[in-house]
Amino acid sequence: MALSHTCDGCGATLGAREDLHRESTPTGRSWYCGYCRMPIPDSIGERLSHRRDGSPTDRR
Ligand SMILES: [Zn+2]
């Protein structure tokens, strides 16, 4: 199933880990658009981070 998130800031389609920017914070992790650094909801970032090149082999 295709999973992607359209950035509210620049309109980019974020569909893989490589499209995201991650920062570690004292409370966990925060996700941002890799292009404009617009914050992305945690649940979206976590799901996208589990995708690698669309490979279906390591999903739960
Ligand atoms: Zn963006």
Q: Give me ligand 1 centre to Cα 1, in Å.
A: 23
pTM of the model: 0.74
Ion ligand 1: protein residues whose beta carbon lies under 5 Å: 7, 9-10, 12, 33, 35-36, 38
Among residues 45, 44, 10, the alpha carbon closest in space to that of 24 is found at 45
Strand partners for 29: 24
Q: What is the pLDDT of residues 1-29, one digit of tens each?
A: 468 999 999 999 999 899 999 999 898 88
The confidence score (pLDDT) of residue 52 equals: 61
What φ, ψ does residue 45 adopt, rounded to 5°?
Answer: -60, -45
Is 21:37 a contact under the CB 8 Å cutoff? Answer: yes
The confidence score (pLDDT) of residue 58 equals: 52
Residue 53 and residue 6: Cα distance in Å, rounded? 18
Domain ranges of the chain: 5-49
Is 49:22 a contact under the CB 8 Å cutoff? Answer: yes
The confidence score (pLDDT) of residue 53 equals: 56
Q: Give me ligand 1 centre to Cα 50, in Å.
A: 19
